[in-house]
Amino acid sequence: MTNTAVQEIQEQTLAELLPISDSTNAWQHAACEGDPNHEAWFPYPSQDFEYARRICDGCPIRRECGDFASRTGQSGVWGGHEYDRGKMIRE
């Protein structure tokens, strides 16, 4: 990913990164919707991700979020777990 692409992603809210075409419209209920702390959702492997995990704890779509990350090869914190290209690397 180029520096320009990374910068564009960092300027968006997490909710804007989620798939708009999701047929269940569940994403509008995500606890992280509109969260401005972008770095917390895409931590480097050595960083603590407690902030994101804490937000995910009370999320009504936590399971669906993790399933989405696994199914679509996402990286970052999804459903309270950290993924790298769809594989869970931290619980």
Structural domain includes residue 42: yes
Structural domain includes residue 67: yes
Q: How many domains does the chain have?
A: 1
8-65 residue pLDDT tens: 444 455 555 555 445 556 777 888 888 888 778 777 765 777 888 889 988 998 998 9
pTM reported for the whole predicted model: 0.66
Domain hosting 65: range is 29-91
What span, in angstroms and rounded, lies between the C-alpha atoms of 43 and 90? 11
Could you tell me which residues come within 8 angstroms of residue 10 by beta carbon, excluding any fewer than 6 positions away?
38, 39
The stretch 66-90 carries a mean pLDDT of 90
pLDDT of residue 86: 92
pLDDT of residue 39: 78
Structural domain includes residue 18: no
Please compute Rg for the chain using Cα positions.
12
